[in-house]
Structure formats: C-alpha cells, structure tokens
Amino acid sequence: MIYDGDCGFCGKWIGRWRGMTGELVEYLPSAEAARFFPEIPPSEFERAVQLIRSDGSRCSGAEAVLEVTAPHSRFVRLMSLAYRRSAITRAFFEASYRLVAEHRAFFSFLTKKL
C-alpha cells in the first residue's frame, strides 16, 4: 500500500493498519514508491492511498483500505461486502474517504481526541 509519507494523519492510520496486517502488506510512502510505479501520476498518490495487488492490479481510496483491513476485522469484512455488492454503499464510502482526505488536519485532530 502506498501512502502520503508527508502526512501525519496518513502515517498514524498506516501504523494502525500495519498493526493489523503485520508482514502481509508492505507499506511505502509515495515519495519512495513513485519510482517503482511511474505509471501512477503523482496526483493519484496525493488523492488517496494506492494498493498494488500481487497480480499488479491497483485500487485506491476506500476500496484499498477495506481490502487491506477486511481480513483482520469482522466488522470491516461486513463493510467490504456491502461495498462490493452495493453501488450506493460504494459511492458513500468513496465520498466519505474523499471528505476525510480533503480535511486531514481536522480528522487528525478528531482522531487524537477520540
């Protein structure tokens, strides 16, 4: 999974996900990963996390987060199932991801408080 290494909020969440997934997922900051994936525009790295699957396919945003964390949480597995089966749920999750990504400072503050 590739993330914005300059973003403290992103780093905190990557730390949580790393704790869930252990060695099953490799996490790389975008500045480091960009040289391995020149086909991904820098704007995509800035917009959302990018998950490069073992077969070379890619997903991003909410889909990537759900895919990485679902095997480790029953609740997330249910959310992932809803994401895959419902266009409305998928649109809601992606809109929610964009909202958080566009307001990282606020959600970082909220995360600390909660």
CB 69 within 8 A of CB 21: yes
Number of domains in the chain: 1
Q: 52: which strand partners?
A: 58
The model's pLDDT over 49-68, given as tens digits with 9 standing for 90+, comes to: 999 999 999 999 999 999 99
The model's pLDDT over 15-39, given as tens digits with 9 standing for 90+, comes to: 999 999 999 999 999 999 999 999 9
- Beta strand pairing call for 2-3 and 28-29: parallel
Q: What is the mean pLDDT of the chain?
A: 95
Q: Which domain holds residue 63?
A: 2-113
Round to whole Å and give the CA distance between 88 and 74: 21
Quote the pTM value.
0.91
